[in-house]
Amino acid sequence: MLSQSMVTDEKFFLNRRKFLGLGAGALALGASYEAQALFGLGGSNDIPLNWKEDPSMSLYPVAKNPLFNVFLDEVTAEEEAARYNNFYEFGSHKEIFQAAQELKIRPWTVEVSGEVGNPKIWDIDELLSGMDLEERIYRHRCVEAWSMVVPWTGFGLRQLMEKSDVLSSAKYVKFTSFMDPKTAPGQRQSWYPWPYVEGLTIEEAAHELTFMVTGVYGHPLPKQHGAPLRLATPWKYGFKSSKSIDKIEFTSERPVSFWEQIQPKEYGFWANVNPGVPHPRWPQNMERVLGKDTYRPTEMFNGYGEMVAGLYTNLEDQMLYR
C-alpha cells in the first residue's frame, strides 16, 4: 500500500544510508543512487534512458521559456531524478526504472473525448509535431515530503484544449494512464483500482502552469518518468501528475482519482501544496531535496501561489490541501 510506503519512505532512506555506512551491501543495494555515489559504480551509462531509441528524438532540445525559471533553484541531477520514481504500475517502491523499460511507448495513442467539439484519437507523434514545445524548469513536491527541480519539455494543456474545441459543458478533465498488466506487474495487484486516474477542474486545466510533459533534460521522456506523455501541475502534490497518459476526457462530472479511491481522507481531489496542513500521518512543512542530504521549507502552493491562488477563491468548503 502507498500509505505504508509513504510512512516508511524517510525511515527507509535513512536506514539504507546507515546500512551503507557499515560498509556492506553493495550487492543488496543494486543500482540505488546512494550506492552509485558511495561506491562509484556510476556514470550515466547504466541508467536506462530509453530516449536514445525514441522516434521523437529530433524534436529536442527546444527553447527554454524563461518565465518558468523564476526561483533560481538548483536543478536536480538527471541521474537522481531518473533513479528515484513513483510509478506504482511497476512497483510500490522507488526503484522501478528497470522494470519500467518494459513499457511499450510506440505505437501510442492519446484519445481526447467527452465534452469537446473535436474528439480525436491522436497518434503520439502527430500530437507532438503539432504542438509548440518549450522547456520549463518546475519544482515537483511529492506528498511524501521529498522534492526535485526538473527541466520538463512539453506544451500547455491549453493548446490541446483549443485544438479539441472544449465545450462549455466541460467542468473537469480526467486523465487515464495506460492499462497493460502484462508489462506492468503492479497492475496485477488487483487491490489497486487500476488504471491510474487523475483529474483537474476546467479552470485548472486551462491555467498556464498546467503542462503536458513529453521530454525532460532536453530529450524525450524516459519511461520511468511517464513516457510518452505525462502531466505536471507543480503547485499540487506530485500524485496529481499522471504518467503515461493515453486518455484525456473532458467531462461534466468530477473524476475520482486513484489515491482518492484508496484513501479519501488522506489523498483528495485538490491536493494543493500547503506547508500548514499536515498529512494525517506526517508534517508537510519541510521537504527532503532529492539527491542531497538537505531539507528545505515547503512553500504555499509550492511557491506558485501568486499564479494559482485565484483558482481557489470561494472554495473554502473543499478539502483544498490534501
Ligand X SMILES: Nc1nc2c(c(=O)[nH]1)N[C@H]1C(S)=C(S)[C@@H](COP(=O)(O)O)O[C@H]1N2
**Site residues for Mo ion per CB under 5 A:** 86, 142, 238-239
Of 95, 122, 141, which Cα lies nearest the Cα of 237? 141
Closest CB to ligand X among residues 172, 175: 175
Binding-site member from 122, 192, 194, 239 for ligand X (CB under 6 A): 239
Residue 56's binding partner out of Mo ion, ligand X, none, with CB under 5 to 8 Å set by partner kind = none
For residue 201, CA distances in Å to 8, 19, 246, 260 come to: 32, 45, 19, 15
Q: Among 76, 86, 201, 274, which residue interacts with ligand X (rule: CB under 6 A)?
A: 86
Q: Which long-range contacts link 40-47 to residues 24+ away (Cβ below 8 Å)?
A: 42/79, 44/78, 44/79, 47/79, 47/82, 47/83, 47/97
- How near is the Cβ of 57 to ligand X at its closest, in Å? 19
DSSP H or E segment with residue 139: strand 134-141
Candidates 33, 51, 60, 87; binder of ligand X (CB under 6 A) is 87
- Cell 467542468 locates to 171
The window from 12-20, 57-65, 83-91, 155-163 that contacts ligand X (CB under 6 A) reads 83-91
From the list ligand X, Mo ion, none, pick the one residue 321 interacts with, judged by a Cβ distance below 5 to 8 Å according to partner type: none
Q: Which of 174, 223, 243, 247 binds ligand X (CB under 6 A)?
A: 243
Q: Is there binding between residue 33 and ligand X (CB under 6 A)?
A: no
Sign of CA dihedral 152, 248, 193, 235: positive
CB of 54 to Mo ion, least distance (A): 25
Chosen residue from 33, 51, 68, 88 binding ligand X by CB under 6 A: 88
Please answer whether residues 58 and 215 qualify as being in contact, where contact means their C-beta atoms are separated by less than 8 angstroms.
Answer: no
Contact range with ligand X by CB under 6 A, out of 14-22, 99-107, 235-243, 275-283 = 235-243
Nearest-approach distance from CB 169 to ligand X, in angstroms: 27
Candidates 12-20, 68-76, 79-87, 202-210: pick the segment binding ligand X (CB under 6 A). 79-87
Shortest Å distance, C-beta 278 to Mo ion: 16
Residue 218's alpha-carbon distances to 61, 136, 212, in angstroms, are 5, 10, 15
Q: Segment 170-189, which members bind ligand X (CB under 6 A)?
A: 177
Shortest CB 240 distance to Mo ion, Å: 9
By the rule CB under 6 A, 142 interacts with ligand X: yes
Look up residue 106 and give its three cell numbers.
510506440
Q: Tell me the C-alpha to C-alpha distance, in Å, between residue 276 and each of 150, 174, 215, 234, 321.
A: 25, 28, 33, 18, 9
Could you say which of 225, 236, 279, 322 contacts ligand X (CB under 6 A)? 225
Q: Are 128 and 153 contacting, i.e. CB atoms less than 8 angstroms apart?
A: no
For residue 87, the partner it binds in Mo ion, ligand X, none, with Cβ less than 5 to 8 A by kind, is ligand X
Decide: 293 and 136 in contact? Cβ < 8 Å.
no
**All residues at 6 or more sequence positions from 310 whose CB lies less than 8 Å from its CB, including other chains:** none
Report the SS3 class of residue 88. Answer: helix
**Of 33, 122, 196, 301, the one binding ligand X by CB under 6 A:** 196
Q: Which is nearer to Mo ion, 219 or 236 (CB)?
A: 236
Nearest in space to 203 (alpha carbons), one of 53, 310, 48, 109:
310
Nearer to ligand X, 85 or 302 (CB): 85
Phi/psi at 66 (nearest 5 deg)?
-65, -15
Binding status of residue 210 toward ligand X by CB under 6 A? no
Q: Which residues of this chain interact with ligand X, rule CB under 6 A?
A: 85-89, 142, 177, 196, 225-226, 238-239, 241-244
